[in-house]
A and B are shown apart, each in its own frame.
Chain A
Amino acid sequence: MPRLHPLGDAALLCELPPPATLPQQQRIWALGAEVQRWAGVGEVLPGMNNLTLTFDPTAIDIDALMARVNEAWPRLSATAIEGRRVEIPVAYGGVHGPDLADVAAHTGLTQAEVVRRHSAADYVVYLLGFLPGFAFMGGLPPELATPRRSEPRTAVPARSVGIGGEQTGIYPLVSPGGWQLIGRTSLELFDPSAEPPTLLRPGDRVRFIVESVQTT
């Protein structure tokens, strides 16, 4: 059962005990889809292993809301969301991935092998957060995990593909960031005038396709 705790007077946090796993995350998505149908519930926001929902306390009382989450939880199935398959072309290394050599050095693999393993894995979008369209993805091969840079960059170029600890992701916009940059995609991750505005959604399955590799 998730732990329930108010987040202020109009939001509720539903949080599962660690570690985060895909089956747990799938039930989080299922909970999000379920509560969104309830009167008085506003937005739902999946986190890693947790869900935050906003609600109107004049329409639904928090105690009633918590009781309803507890009652709904055991009935939720872990397979409610069928994510799309999204292929993301990446130019690895060189000016597009200035930290590829550092990742290779840290992991003890060659640069070509880092690229091969990064592009061979299946990733799942657990949630979007941090920036519009920024996907937190699970599925990075553990041997590619590399700590964040000790000096974060003040301006990471948009569409950079990076590794931060045990996660991989893509910066949708120019932003400060500390992840190790290994490549860059030509796809737009966020376009406010498009429908939908983000390339990725929670539940999507992602493969990185090698477009080019430049090793040093």
Chain B
Amino acid sequence: MMLVQKPGMLASVQDLGRHGHRQLGICPGGALDVLALTLANRLVGNADGAAGLEITMGGCEIRFETATRIALVGDGFGARLDGAPLWPCWSVPVAAGQTLKLAGANAAGVKKAGLRSWLAVAGGIDVPPVLGSRSTDLKAGFGGHQGRALRKGDRLALGATALDAARLARRPFGVRGPDGGPEESDGSIALRVLPGPEFDQFTAASHSQLWNERWRITAQSNRMGSRLAGAELNRKRSADMLSSGVIPGTVQVPPSGQPIILMGDAQTTGGYPRIGVVIRADLWKLARAPLDGRLRLVQVDMAAALQAWAEQQRYLAQVAQGLAAAGWTGPA
């Protein structure tokens, strides 16, 4: 069992998402950074799809009532386990009674404001699957822990771990985190984008602004989407759009001209023009991009998008090989 002593701004149970129900209006949800949760799960001997916690802006405190093993991936928020530093991408044994504390995003000593972290626990968080997933659908109020964000005093059960006692207690080890890819000298985060179905409806000026602006991520952003502020994007002429499918990464432009990049909890269909779509390989960077941070959208073609995806899969395969070679996974 684990006890939530402080949830922070928003913490929820998430796995790799609820897929296959879009045509019923049910969003995929799940960990916004699939790469992070996958990595965290592998570090504690879980299947990739085990449920973990998505923690927003730190400020979270969790007491482990049974011995287990944990891994935190994403922003570290100065995480400490009974006072000892817990580094992101490390796998660490936990004794019964130990407490994990993440500092708040604005706490002194936290190097830079981050946004999200993903915590995996050996055995995974044991909540009942709903429609094939343990993810919390916060908007519709089902799945995860009682269909809602975690509150102080919530107790979460852990599933059975595949790790034997020796592995469960093995001394801490870490892996190399994913490569952040193109990062700009001014500190902005570069996301690679394919032109969307309505790209051609926008003016030439808006096209150049889309690729040249340093977009600011506003505080109105959430699990449904990152709302950006910057140049106003305009269509050559405004026309009503019929409802059409949207997926995480879709850059849609409402009448305000300020783009929204949709994320896992976004509705399944939308009625705003889609100027672009962030490639799958870069969605994890968006999930971690801090509020008030800057984004640059970089136009790529399909070949580059698929190559970036293949590189990410190679990275995950290398992690798996490294863990197997160290005797972490596979037969005891």
- CB within 8 Å of B: which residues of A? 5-11, 13, 15, 18, 20, 32, 42-52, 54, 57, 62, 127-134, 136, 172-173, 175, 190, 192-193, 196-198, 201-202
Contact = CB atoms under 8 A, between A and B. Distances in A.
B252 to A, nearest CB: 11
A20, A133, A192 pick with most chain B CB within 10 angstroms = A192
Report, nearest first, the 9 A-B pairs whose CB atoms are least far apart: A52-B245, A129-B269, A8-B277, A47-B244, A9-B305, A48-B242, A45-B245, A128-B25, A5-B197
Contact of B21 (A5, A131, A134, A197): A197
B233 interface: no
Contact of A13 (B26, B140, B141, B245): B245
A130 B24 CA distance: 10
B250 interface: yes
A42 B23 CA distance: 12
Contact of B243 (A11, A43, A48): A48
Contact of B245 (A10, A11, A193): A11
B189 interface: no
B269 A131 contact: no
B243 A136 contact: yes
A9 B23 contact: no
Interface in B124-162: 130-131, 137, 139-143
Interface string B15-48: 0000111111110000000000000000000000
A162 to B, nearest CB: 16
A7 B250 contact: yes
A8 B194 contact: yes
B197 A13 contact: yes
B260 interface: no
A9 B194 contact: yes
A50 B245 contact: yes
A42 B280 CA distance: 15
A57 B309 contact: yes
B244 A52 contact: yes
Contacts of B140: 131-132, 173, 190, 192
Given A128-B23, A131-B267, A197-B131, A9 B309 contact: yes
Contacts of A131: 25, 139-140, 267
Interface string B271-282: 000100111100
Contacts of A132: 21, 24-26, 137, 140
Contacts of B22: 43, 45
Contacts of B324: none
5 contacts: A8-B277, A13-B245, A52-B246, A57-B306, A133-B25
A46 B22 CA distance: 9
The listed residue with most B CB atoms (<10 A of its CB), out of A8, A10, A48, A136, is: A8
B267 A198 contact: no
B247 interface: yes
A196 B130 CA distance: 12
Given A49-B242, A54-B247, A6 B194 contact: yes
B311 to A, nearest CB: 13
Nearest to A50: B244
B249 interface: yes
Contacts of B137: 132, 192
A130 B269 contact: yes
A32 B278 CA distance: 25
B135 to A, nearest CB: 12
A134 B139 CA distance: 13
A57 B313 CA distance: 13
Contacts of B131: 192, 197
B197 A196 contact: no
A127 B269 contact: yes
B264 to A, nearest CB: 14
Given A57-B309, A62-B302, A18 B194 contact: no
Given A7-B250, A8-B279, 15 more contacts: A5-B197, A7-B274, A42-B19, A43-B20, A43-B23, A47-B243, A49-B242, A50-B242, A128-B24, A129-B268, A132-B25, A136-B243, A172-B25, A173-B141, A197-B131
B25 A9 contact: no
Contacts of B250: 7-8
Contact of B23 (A5, A11, A15, A44): A44
